[in-house]
Structure 1
Amino acid sequence: MNKYIKRYLITILLLLIFGSLMVFSTSWPYSFRLYGVETKIFIKHIEFVALSLIAIFVVSHINILKFKKFSKEIFIITFIMCFLVYSPLGRNVNNARRWIAIIGDFTIMPADFLKISSIMLMAYFIDRYKNKFTFKNVFLKYLLTVFLVVLAIMIQPDLSTTFVIVSTITAMYIVAGMDKKAAFFSLSGIILGSVSAIFLLKSGYSRMSRLEAFFNPLKYRNDKSWQLIKSLFAITNGSIFGVGLGNGRQKYTLSEAHNDFIFASIAEEFGFVGAILLIIAFIYLSMLGIKIANNVKNIYGKMIIMGITFSIGIQALVNIGTSTGIIPPTGVTLPFISYGGSSLVMTSVMVAIVLSIVRYSKER
């Protein structure tokens, strides 16, 4: 195990421990209102952390590189899974159908699986055409992947996950060597897609409400902007050094204090200093991921690690942007920190894939 892997694992373990402390600190008011027990959400979170650690151990001992030739099939399977949200297995939460029930109350987000399979598919294309990295060979396949991702996830609807996945595979393409022609068409597509999204948002009450609340937070401070306003209050209340672990006040009225807006809770309890240190931790984790990827000779494995690194980094950026009011509320969790069952487990599976590639690429 090289030094970068050790640092990578230690950083993730510290984030998981810190995340558990923050979930304990921020979830008990909401847990009591919902279940009548202050520790219910925290206990469930610890169970998911344990499951995540088991997933890291198990998946890291599976040779992911052997799945290279099945990358297309894996993507197709996860693509089909995304449409199961409209089957009897689907669950509607806050006007969005993003989950399917597996056993009892245990649900999964098919989009999390598509996130991984999209990275594997893009890595496959980059590896296959590494000696003929042309516009025709790679860009058209990249474009098809983007189209299928948008089709599968926007019907749920889930704009934030769509953004994370598309941004991730685009970053992979750029790192691999996107030419000027492909860059032009990609930029044009992003602009066109953004304009189209604005028009589509007008047809969806939930999504349009979020945009209205984002652009006019004070106007909708008693309903649509409630979470955002409380999040900004929490950050402001934290000042430089924070009010101390467990002493945050906004968690009593901020229902997502342990989840989507946990960064605001961290800023309140640990202040500007604590928030900056957490951001530095994610930057450091991303730097380690890139260093690990650059030490892998196998192109397929290297690009998967790059994709996973970009995915975790972009998701953290989106979550922090939501809490600070830089971008509209998205429903994206903060990796390794937020409460969130399937999201935490699937992010841990990504970590396991990194470990697997490093382990088995040495044997080739």
Structure 2
Amino acid sequence: MILSLTSRVLVLGMMWLGLSLLKWDGAMSPLFWQALIFTAIVLVGSLMEQLFHYQGDPYILPVVQAIMALGLVFVVRVNPGVALHQFWWANIGLLMFYTVLWAIRDYRSFGRFRYIWGLLAVGLLLVTLVFGSEEGGATSSLKFWGFGFQPEEFVKLALLLFMATYLVENEELLRIGTVQWGRFSLPDWRTLGPFMIMVAFVLGLLAAQKSLGTALVFYLLFVLMLYVVTERALYLGISIPIFLLTGTVGYMLFRHVRVRVSVWLDPWQDPTGMGYQIAQSLFAIGGGNILGTGLGNGIGASTVPVAISDFIFSVIAEELGFAGAMAVLVLFLIVVMRAFVVSIRAKDRFGQILAAGIGILLGTETLIILAGVTKLFPLTGLPLPWVSYGGSSLIVHFILLGVLLNISNATATSSHSTKNKGREYAT
């Protein structure tokens, strides 16, 4: 208990120190009260873990809360006017996390609704395509009564559950195969059909929405989950020409894809126009040197377009330097690696696959986003989990975190019960 509370106090201390160094309205502002609510939820949540005898992974939640605290500070730094909304969503997300962690009696019940999850994913994308509004060149947002949300964020959760249930039911056939194609054995259409249809529908709808960054994340999620479960390099080999083919088609069909590739290859051909965003991002990152300019002293917050969401890492790298940027990467790496530890330790196959899928999703998102802002990869317009501004992303990633730690807690509880029964039997 002391270790848990100490880690939360350190996280909150980091957040309040960061806020105190920034210029905002002070103790009478709504932002101050929302920060207090966030503090109370974190501390009460830590006490609840002791009250309800949480036995799951002790590292993931404190690390995520550290990432979240850093994100809140930098959202305030970039745009104090909208930071209040981010605190709202952070507080709601934490409450939803604890609801998922404690209210789900048996996460394996999710596995009973395979086709429902698949239909939900396709349905959300269809509704977005028909009724959505365009942002950043992609039709990815739905608005109700003045509030907007990103349905594709919730599609991540539905697809993960669909994939986990599908792979549990068809693992052996996918691993061994029933149809011989020369030297290779592949599953028959009855086994592979639902998977291929789901992939085609989801990626096709995302392509129609021009949301190609999300399409890339989902494609990698499909391929990597399939490989992790079956351990067949054949699926990786098949995925590469498919990726190259669909990427080429996307490049030829969509002008904004051609622009992003052109900017990625040479942003300096038009540094004040199309290349302005990535050029300013590189200037900000390069200006941070080793230890950074100091919180609140960088220029990237005002010069980098969309710094509050897509390019918030550039601001972090400038003001905290290479050391701070690497610290953020290490925090994300810890979360991803611990997710795989949860997967390895899970007692049932569904829990193993679902936890691995969450780790793959978080790692893939982070890698693509950070590669984009550092010009290692074309820009995708995706938010950095728990850091970038955006309510939909926060809520969904906290739900995923709740599912992951629910699996971890159930595994630890099951192991503890088994040990106690063994002792009783021995006596």
The normalised TM-score by structure 1 is 0.89
192-201 vs 263-272, greater mean Cα deviation: 192-201
- 2:86, 2:389 within 8 Å by CA — same for their partners in 1? yes
SS of 1:287's equivalent in the other structure is helix
Which of 63, 75, 93 lines up with 1:11 in the alignment?
63
Specify whether residues 196 and 87 from structure 1 end up closer, same or farther in structure 2 by C-alpha distance, changes over 3 A only: closer
Aligned length: 348
Establish whether residue 97 from structure 1 lines up as the match of residue 158 from structure 2.
no
Task: Tell me which amino acid in the other structure corresponds to 1:160.
Answer: G
Establish whether residue 293 from structure 1 lines up as the match of residue 343 from structure 2.
yes
Aligned to 2:74: 22
Establish whether residue 74 from structure 1 lines up as the match of residue 117 from structure 2.
yes
For each residue in 1:176-201, what CA deviation from the matched residue of structure 2 results, as whole angstroms up to 9, or x when unmatched?
12335x42xx4234323323322332
Distance in 2, Cα, partners of 1:196 & 1:79: 20
Specify whether residues 145 and 192 from structure 1 end up closer, same or farther in structure 2 by C-alpha distance, changes over 3 A only: same
SS of 1:100's equivalent in the other structure is strand
SS of 2:361's equivalent in the other structure is helix
Aligned to 2:94: 53
Aligned to 2:373: 323
Establish whether residue 165 from structure 1 lines up as the match of residue 218 from structure 2.
yes
Establish whether residue 134 from structure 1 lines up as the match of residue 176 from structure 2.
yes
Establish whether residue 282 from structure 1 lines up as the match of residue 332 from structure 2.
yes
For each residue in 1:120-177, what CA deviation from the matched residue of structure 2 results, as whole angstroms up to 9, or x when unmatched?
1221122113444433165554433322221221111111111112212322221212
Aligned to 2:400: 350
Greater C-alpha radius of gyration: 2
Higher relative contact order by CA 8 Å / sep ≥ 6: 1 or 2?
Answer: 1
Specify whether residues 87 and 130 from structure 1 end up closer, same or farther in structure 2 by C-alpha distance, changes over 3 A only: closer
352-361 vs 332-341, greater mean Cα deviation: 352-361
SS of 1:211's equivalent in the other structure is helix
Establish whether residue 149 from structure 1 lines up as the match of residue 202 from structure 2.
yes
* Residue ranges of structure 2 left out of the alignment (5+ in a row): 1-52, 178-186, 418-427
188-197 vs 246-255, greater mean Cα deviation: 188-197
SS of 2:164's equivalent in the other structure is helix
Aligned to 1:33: none
Distance in 2, Cα, partners of 1:250 & 1:198: 33
Task: Tell me which amino acid in the other structure corresponds to 1:175.
Answer: V
Aligned to 1:125: 166
Specify whether residues 156 and 66 from structure 1 end up closer, same or farther in structure 2 by C-alpha distance, changes over 3 A only: same
Establish whether residue 198 from structure 1 lines up as the match of residue 198 from structure 2.
no
* Residue ranges of structure 1 left out of the alignment (5+ in a row): 28-38
Specify whether residues 271 and 3 from structure 1 end up closer, same or farther in structure 2 by C-alpha distance, changes over 3 A only: farther
1:206-225 to 2 correspondences below 5 Å? 206-225=256-275
- 2:118, 2:198 within 8 Å by CA — same for their partners in 1? no
- 1:65, 1:357 within 8 Å by CA — same for their partners in 2? no
349-358 vs 142-151, greater mean Cα deviation: 142-151
Task: Tell me which amino acid in the other structure corresponds to 2:351.
Answer: G
Task: Tell me which amino acid in the other structure corresponds to 1:95.
Answer: G
Distance in 2, Cα, partners of 1:147 & 1:17: 38
For each residue in 1:41-95, what CA deviation from the matched residue of structure 2 results, as whole angstroms up to 9, or x when unmatched?
111111111111111012222243212110211211221110112334x212233
Distance in 1, Cα, partners of 2:300 & 2:344: 43
Shift of 1:2: 6.8
Distance in 2, Cα, partners of 1:267 & 1:313: 19
Distance in 2, Cα, partners of 1:288 & 1:360: 16
Task: Tell me which amino acid in the other structure corresponds to 2:227.
Answer: I
Distance in 1, Cα, partners of 2:389 & 2:342: 28
Shift of 1:4: 5.9
Distance in 2, Cα, partners of 1:188 & 1:131: 19
